[in-house]
Amino acid sequence: MRKDNSTNAINEKYLHNICALNVAIDTIGSRWIAQIVYSISKGFNRFYLLNEELPNISEQVLSRKLNRLEAQNILNKDVLPNTIPIGIQYTLTSKGEDLIPILKSLCEWEKSHG
């Protein structure tokens, strides 16, 4: 469980107050997150599709990451009608869409400075 008064948590808040940049980094900087967002933008918009695209991620971890992205308003989670068992579709919100070009420039940045 997260401790509210650890130095770790205090420093996190401190950085968030300095600049929105640090909020953004905390949003996209943890494992799998950028890759999941990018995979969804390419059309892998179902739980099982993401699981097939990224075989190394466990279902537990994928679930946690998807929940977090939804809470951060980067993903929408919609129930598909007429699916048995019930199907869930993930789509990018406008916040998520706006992130894609930034992820692309990060990718180019890395590739051009090898």
Partner DNA sequence: TTTTCGGCTCACAATTTTGTTAGTTATTGT
Partner DNA sequence: ACAATAACTAACAAAATTGTGAGCCGAAAA
Residues of span 13-32 touching a copy of itself by CB under 8 A: 14-15, 18-25, 27-32
Q: How far apart are CA 94 and CA 73, in angstroms?
A: 9
Cα Rg of the chain (Å, integer): 16
Closest separation in Å from C-beta 71 to DNA: 11
DSSP H helical ranges for 1-114: 7-18, 20-28, 33-41, 47-53, 59-71, 94-112
Contact of residue 19 among a copy of itself, DNA, none (CB under 5-8 Å per partner type): a copy of itself
Beta bridge partners of 88: 79
Residue pair 51/62 in contact (Cβ under 8 Å)? The answer is yes
44 binds, among a copy of itself, DNA, none (CB under 5 to 8 A by kind): none
Please tell me whether residue 51 binds a copy of itself under the rule CB under 8 A: no
Say which entry of a copy of itself, DNA, none residue 24 contacts (CB below 5 to 8 A, set by partner kind).
a copy of itself
100 binds, among DNA, a copy of itself, none (CB under 5 to 8 A by kind): none
3-state secondary structure of 60: helix
Contact positions vs a copy of itself (CB under 8 A): 10-12, 14-15, 18-25, 27-35, 38, 56-57, 73, 94-95, 98-99, 102-107, 109-113
